[in-house]
Structure formats: structure tokens, C-alpha cells
């Protein structure tokens, strides 16, 4: 629903279809019939936000509750933002067209650190004060946030009233129910937040006092007003009973992932040491093939999508992947629905899987060896062998594929220039494998794309204490790969090191960064994840103005006994385990995955999931 005022702007901006709503399956309610209005904000463009599964799940779930109306809000692209500001149009929700300031809850999902400025900018555009303090004590405009970045909420602690830690399906609704009750009782916001803090999985930053040592590290972190000393994450234990939408809002303009998405499991058995998702979503919990099949079918029927993507952190690790694909292909061909299986592991690409996905769509193949040398892959616990990768590529080439994309990281702990050069060598080895595969596509050349991103140490990983390489070190490594590639059949791409640096600052930042964030918002920073807008120079000037050294957060080695800014948050994986994993990395020693052997990370305390599966060798 768009107002006349907005309509006048729409023809002046790119892709105006992003700003109007009105899609199939959007939920419209009468605002007089609801008690809670929730603005679900995605701090990036419509095309990015509409591709996000978590938002789809929570949007449908909120709206399945009669007293809640949940609407969508996205960050307007720079041209639209300019027009809105010029014409005094506050940021509005797509369903009702009402400004953000009309909402009880303004919720953000935090998928990446570089979207923090967009979060603040959206509040500003919505004419909602950005800090908890400035929003006052009235029971409205409650700013909440969740998502993976909520695992270190500290750099944005001044702006968010409460964080949801872990998976949102249950805790979100508990908070809505408490709000409804508080509203009836006439409680104020402070009272509401105090009571919220008693709900497991809710972190209210304003209820904690932080003190610092002279060197800038944390001295103490003290809860007040009865808030818990440690906030434990929430998670869904029975995935078959967990809410899943049978319907998505179907966008009219093309979005990044324009297809139905079916979640098949949460968590990952692997424990790659750089990967935050691999630790914070533990333990692995699968949906049964029957549940997946039924949900998948309903989703396709209700949306009209002719493509469905099976979503998880590592699809080939689904324990019943082949029976599942068999079930799905029973109807998908006839219904003209194609299946895609992203996040395939190098060692999971079997003939059987290949033939199942090939029956419907031949997309490019992407693998992530992450590191070039075997030693380096052992350090990060990737558990992929060189021969396995070559074998997999040979399988794919024999199956008719001619392009392979390989993802790597540079700047990993203990990395040497030889490890870096090994990335180029691995690309060459894949090319050689192509020509050695007897039945590769006739008369066609092979194309191998090697992409290198820069390692960003993240909280709740064994590398959370590690320094990030400096930007100049990263540049040197990028150049070294470039020099080491000798064939035109290997194409090299790399990710900008500047943005990785800023990501590293905010990923492991503390509350002192809030001042920088506030200033960034004042100066109109936005879309830092987009090259069009990002400027490291501008950020460096801000840091200097605030008297903050970003290298303190990004490039400093932290000691095992330092209090980390996120130590008061518990994701089930114990710090002791992460330390042990870090030590093993230094010794080039791998850790077997959860199905081979339990390594005692701590996630078994939840009492479900892979920790309690029967291991194959024990059966």
C-alpha cells in the first residue's frame, strides 16, 4: 500500500517495484484488530532481504498469531532514500504504508556486520530515535534484533533494546505475549525490559554495566536488576514440529534467490574452525524426509515457484540425502519443479547425487576447499583431502560439467606464502584433472574460477582470539596468488580486504564502538556492504575522531584469559572446547566430525540432535 506522495517518487527511482508491496501472499490485517504491530526490518535492499529464509519463517509465524501484524521493511536504495528525505517521507512498511514510528516493535535481523549502519539509518529514516536512551520510557518503539551477529551484540548495544539469542521461533512469541500483558497492566518500557530479561534467550544490554582495564580490555561485566549473568541461546529441538511456512510472499521484481527454499537441517557436523555458523547452530538437528517432502510440496503449490532449493549449511551431510532426493523427484519432474542443492561438500558430491540433480537443472558447480595446502586445510579442520577434490572434479567433468568454482580464504592463522601459492596450484591441478578425465565434454575447454576472500575471525569459533592479517598483508597474499597462476584457464577473483577489515572490527568489537556507530549514522553512512557506498578512508577518519584504534579489535592477538565482549552469552559450545580446538589448529591436527566421534563441545546439554544419534560404527 503506497501513499500518493510516495507514488510521485516511484517513477524517478530505479526498480520502483521494490517499494510498493502488493505481492502474492503478503499479509494484510486491519490495524484496529491487532494488539501488536511488528515491523520486521531487513537492513539491506528488498532483493537481498526477500531472499532471506529466517525472515520468511518469522513473518509467517508472527502473522499466524491473530493479535500480531508483522510487516516488512527494507532499506531503500540510495536514489529512493534521497527522494524520501527530500520529500519528507519517513521510511514505511510495505503492507500498510505506515511509518516505522507507528510500530510497537521494530525488529532487525543482523546477518552481517556491515549492515549495522543500515540498521541505524533505517531508524533515522523512520523517524525513530536511534538510541535506547533517546527513545524514552513509554511502552512503544521497542527495537529488537536477532540473527547470527547478535552473538556479539556489544558494538550496537546502545541502539537495541533487546536481543534474541539463538533461534527465534519460540522466544519471539514469548516476548510478544509479555508485551501484550505489560500493555494491559500499563507497565513502562523499563519494567517490560526488566521482565523480558527473565525470559531465556533474551539479552537486554541496558541491564549490564561494563568496566574496562586501562589497556582497553574488559575488566568486568555486571548484570543489574536481576538480569542473568549469562544469557543462554534458544533453539528448536524437534525440527519436525518446528514452525515452517507453507507459503512465501512471492516478489514480482527479481530478487537474489528467487525460488522456494526448504530447510532440511540446522547446524553442521563439521566444525571448520573459522566458521561461526558451524558452532553457534550446534547441535545438528535434522528434519525427517517426510516432513521435508510435505513442506516442499506445499510451498511449491502455494507460491507457483518452479525451483526449490534445499537449504542447510552442508546439504550432502543430510543423513538421508539419497532417499530424500528419491522422494522429491517422484513428483518434482511431473510438476516441472527443479531441485537445487547448494552447499555441497567436496567429499559429498557422489554419482548418485549428481544424477539426481542433473535430471532437473545443470547449474554451475561450486566447491569450497577454503585453503590450498593440505596442512592449511588441517589447521582449519576442513577435513578435505586433495585426492577427494580431484576425484570429485573428475566425477563432475565426466558428467559433462566444464566450469568449476573454488572458494578459498587467505589470511588464515599460521598461513605462509607457500600455503597461499598452493591455492593457485590447486586451481592448476583441477585443470589438469579435466584433461586427464577420459570422457570430459568433447571439444570444450575447462574454466576454473578461484575466489579468495579474506579471513575474518569471529566470536564463538576456535579462532576468536586470532589477529586478522593487516590489509597490506592481505594485499600481498592476493598479489602472490595472481603471480602464481600461470594458465588462462584459471580465473582469479578476490574479495576487497578493506571491507573484511571493518567486518573484523565490528565482529569482535565492544561497547566502545557504539560511539563510532552513532557518529557514522549522524554522517549518513549506509550500505557499507556495497562497493558503491563503502569507504574505508571515511571510517578511519571516524575512528580517529572517536579516539579509537580499530586495529585493537581486528589485528590484536587476544589472550585466552581475556574477558571477551561476548563472554556473557552462551551458545552451548564451551570456551574450554574452543581453546582446545585452537591449540589443535596450531598443531595441524584435525578433529573428527560429530557423526564420527563426539568431541565434547558442550552442545550435548540440549539433549537432542546429532549428539544422540547412533553412530554407524556402533550400530
Partner 1 sequence: MKNVRIWFKKDFECRYISHLDLNRTMLRALHKSKIPIWHTEGFNPHPFATFPLPLSLGFRGVNECMDVRLEDEEFSFEEIKNRLNACLPRGLRVFDVTEAVMKAGKVAYASFTILLSLPDKSSRLVCEQLGALLQNDTIEIEKKSKKGMKTVDIKPGIKSFSVTELFDCAKLDVVLSAGSSDNVNPNLLIAALSRATGCEYDADITRNELYNSEFEPFR
| Residues at the contact surface with partner 1, assessed by CB under 8 A | 2, 8, 10-11, 15-17, 19-24, 250, 252-254, 301-306, 336, 338, 360-362
Which residues are bridge partners to 202 per DSSP?
164
Nearer residue to partner 1 within complex by CB, 219 or 336: 336
Give the nearer residue to partner 1 in terms of CB position, either 36 or 337: 337
Nearer residue to partner 1 within complex by CB, 253 or 604: 253
CB nearer to partner 1: pick between 35 and 301: 301
> Which grid coordinates belong to 71?
510487516
Which contiguous run of DSSP H or E holds residue 519? helix 514-522
- Least CB distance to partner 1 at residue 528 (A): 28
Closest to partner 1 by CB, 87 or 535: 87
- 308-to-32, 289, 299, 300, 314 alpha-carbon distances in Å: 37, 15, 9, 8, 16
Residues 6+ apart with CB under 8 A from 399: 351, 354, 355, 358
Q: Which residues contact 217 (CB under 8 A, 6 or more apart)?
A: 558, 562, 563
Q: Whole-number minimum distance, CB 334 to partner 1, in Å?
A: 11
Here the cell at position 508 is 569482535
Minimum distance from CB of 437 to partner 1 (Å)?
A: 23
96 and 40 Cβ atoms separated by less than 8 Å:
no
Q: Which residue's CB is nearer to partner 1, number 15 or number 475?
A: 15
Whether 141 and 103 have beta carbons less than 8 Å apart is answered as yes
C-alpha distances out from residue 99 to 37, 95, 138, 179, 323, Å: 12, 11, 18, 21, 48
d(C-alpha 590, C-alpha 383), whole Å: 7
- State the minimum distance, in angstroms, from the CB of residue 16 to partner 1: 4
- Please say which residue, 11 or 229, places its beta carbon nearer to partner 1: 11
Q: How many residues does the chain have?
A: 619
CA distance 546 to 32: 46
**Min dist. Cβ of residue 248 to partner 1 (A):** 11
Cell numbers for 604, please give them.
550435548
Q: How far is the CB of 589 from partner 1 (least distance, A)?
A: 46
Select 9 or 585, whichever has its Cβ closest to partner 1.
9
By C-beta, is 336 or 576 nearer to partner 1?
A: 336
Question: C-alpha dihedral over 231, 566, 120, 44, to 10 degrees?
Answer: -90
Shortest distance, CB of residue 10 to partner 1, whole angstroms? 5
Q: Contacts from 177-181 at CB under 8 Å and sequence distance 24+? A: 179/36, 179/104, 179/105, 179/139, 179/142, 180/35, 180/36, 180/67
Transcribe 320-331 into DSSP letters. THHHHHHHHHHH
Alpha-helical regions (H) of 32-167: 46-49, 53-63, 78-86, 116-125, 132-135
Handedness of CA 43, 49, 55, 60 (dihedral sign): positive
| Cβ-based nearer residue to partner 1, 15 or 495 | 15
The distance of closest approach from Cβ of residue 30 to partner 1 in the complex, given in angstroms and rounded to an integer, is 16
Distance CA 351, CA 390 (A): 14
Distance CA 67, CA 95 (A): 16
C-alpha cell at 62: 508472527
Torsion on CA atoms 241, 303, 258, 18, rounded to nearest 10: -110
- Taking the complex as a whole, the smallest distance from the CB of residue 7 to partner 1 amounts, in Å, to 9
Q: Nearest approach, Cβ of 24 to partner 1 (angstroms)? A: 5
Q: How many CB atoms lie within 10 A of CB 545?
A: 12
10 versus 536: smaller Cβ distance to partner 1: 10
Q: State the minimum distance, in angstroms, from the CB of residue 174 to partner 1.
A: 34
| Distance of closest approach, residue 356 Cβ to partner 1, in angstroms | 16
Nearer to partner 1, 253 or 441 (CB): 253
Minimum distance of partner 1 from residue 302's CB (angstroms): 8
Give the number of other Cβ atoms within 10 Å of residue 185's Cβ.
Answer: 10
Work out how close the CB of 298 gets to partner 1 at its nearest, in angstroms, rounded to a whole number: 12
DSSP letter assigned to residue 24: B
Distance CA(274)–CA(472), nearest Å, equals 21
Measured from the CB atom, the residue of 19 and 408 that comes closer to partner 1 is: 19
> Nine-digit cell at 463?
579462532
C-alpha distances out from residue 375 to 412, 419, 465, Å = 12, 8, 21
Amino acid at each position: 500500500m503506497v501513499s500518493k506522495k510516495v507514488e510521485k517518487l516511484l517513477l524517478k527511482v530505479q526498480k520502483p517495484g521494490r517499494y510498493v508491496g502488493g505481492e502474492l501472499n503478503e499479509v494484510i490485517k486491519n490495524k484496529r484488530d491487532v494488539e501488536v504491530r511488528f515491523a520486521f526490518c531487513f537492513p539491506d535492499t528488498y532483493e537481498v532481504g526477500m531472499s532471506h529464509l529466517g525472515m520468511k519463517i518469522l513473518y509467517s509465524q508472527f502473522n499466524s498469531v491473530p493479535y500480531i501484524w508483522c510487516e516488512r521493511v527494507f532499506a531503500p536504495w540510495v536514489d529512493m532514500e534521497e527522494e524520501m528525505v527530500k520529500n519528507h517521507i519517513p521510511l514505511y512498511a510495505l503492507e500498510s504504508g505506515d511509518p516505522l514510528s507507528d510500530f510497537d516493535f521494530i525488529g532487525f535481523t543482523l546477518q552481517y556486520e556491515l549492515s549495522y549502519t543500515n540498521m541505524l539509518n533505517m531508524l533515522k529514516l523512520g523517524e525513530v530515535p536511534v538510541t535506547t536512551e533517546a527513545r524514552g520510557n513509554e511502552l512503544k518503539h521497542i527495537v529488537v534484533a536477532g540473527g547470527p551477529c547478535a552473538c556479539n551484540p556489544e558494538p550496537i548495544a546502545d541502539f537495541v533494546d533487546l536481543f534474541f539469542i539463538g533461534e527465534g521461533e519460540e522466544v519471539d512469541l514469548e516476548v510478544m505475549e509479555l508485551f501484550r500483558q505489560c500493555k494491559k497492566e500499563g507497565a513502562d518500557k523499563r519494567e517490560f525490559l526488566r521482565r523480558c530479561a527473565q525470559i531465556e534467550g533474551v539479552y537486554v544490554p541496558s541491564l549490564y554495566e561494563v568496566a574496562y582495564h586501562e589497556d582497553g580490555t574488559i575488566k568486568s561485566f555486571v548484570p543489574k536488576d536481576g538480569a542473568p549473568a549469562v544469557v543462554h541461546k534458544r533453539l528448536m529441538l524437534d525440527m519436525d514440529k518446528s514452525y515452517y511456512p507453507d507459503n512465501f510472499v512471492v516478489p514480482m521484481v527479481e530478487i537474489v534467490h528467487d525460488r522456494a527454499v526448504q530447510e532440511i537441517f540446522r547446524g553442521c557436523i563439521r566444525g571448520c574452525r573459522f566458521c561461526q555458523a558451524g558452532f553457534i547452530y550446534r547441535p545438528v538437528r535434522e528434519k525427517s524426509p517426510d516432513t521435508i517432502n510435505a513442506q516442499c510440496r506445499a510451498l511449491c503449490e502455494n507460491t507457483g515457484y518452479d525451483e526449490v532449493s534445499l537449504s542447510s549449511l552442508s546439504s550432502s551431510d543430510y543423513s538421508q540425502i539419497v532417499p530424500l532426493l528419491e522422494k522429491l523427484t517422484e513428483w518434482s519432474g511431473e510438476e516441472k519443479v527443479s531441485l537445487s542443492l547448494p552447499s555441497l561438500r567436496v567429499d559429498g558430491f557422489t554419482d548418485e547425487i549428481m544424477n539426481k540433480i542433473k535430471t532437473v537443472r545443470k547449474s554451475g558447480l561450486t566447491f569450497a576447499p577454503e585453503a590450498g595446502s593440505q596442512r592449511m586445510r588441517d589447521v582449519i579442520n576442513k577435513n578435505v583431502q586433495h585426492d577427494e577434490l580431484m576425484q570429485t572434479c573428475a566425477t563432475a567433468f565426466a558428467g559433462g560439467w566444464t566450469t568449476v568454482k573454488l572458494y578459498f580464504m587467505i589470511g588464515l592463522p599460521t598461513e605462509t606464502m607457500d600455503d597461499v601459492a598452493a591455492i593457485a596450484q590447486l586451481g592448476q591441478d583441477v585443470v589438469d584433472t579435466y584433461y586427464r578425465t577420459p570422457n570430459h565434454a568433447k571439444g570444450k575447454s575447462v574454466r576454473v574460477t578461484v575466489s579468495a576472500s579474506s579471513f575474518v575471525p569471529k566470536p564463538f569459533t576456535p579462532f576468536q582470539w586470532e589477529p586478522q592479517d593487516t590489509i597490506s598483508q592481505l594485499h600481498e597474499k592476493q598479489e602472490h596468488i595472481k603471480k602464481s597462476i600461470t594458465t588462462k584457464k584459471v580465473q582469479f577473483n578476490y574479495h576487497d580486504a578493506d571491507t573484511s577489515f571493518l567486518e573484523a572490527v565490528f565482529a569482535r568489537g565492544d561497547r566502545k564502538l557504539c560511539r563510532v556507530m552513532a557518529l557514522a549514522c549522524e554522517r549518513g553512512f549506509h550500505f557499507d556492504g556495497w562497493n558503491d557506498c563503502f569507504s574505508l578512508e571515511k571510517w578511519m577518519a571516524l575512528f580517529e575522531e572517536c579516539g579509537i584504534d580499530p586495529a585493537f579489535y581486528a589485528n590484536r592477538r587476544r589472550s585466552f584469559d581475556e574477558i571477551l565482549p561476548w563472554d556473557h552469552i552462551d551458545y552451548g559450545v564451551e570456551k574450554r572446547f574452543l581453546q582446545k580446538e585452537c591449540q589443535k589448529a596450531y598443531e595441524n591436527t584435525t578433529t573428527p566430525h560429530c557423526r564420527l566421534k563426539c568431541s565434547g563441545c558442550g552442545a550435548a546439554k540440549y539433549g537432542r540432535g546429532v549428539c544422540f544419534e547412533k553412530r554407524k560404527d556402533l550400530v
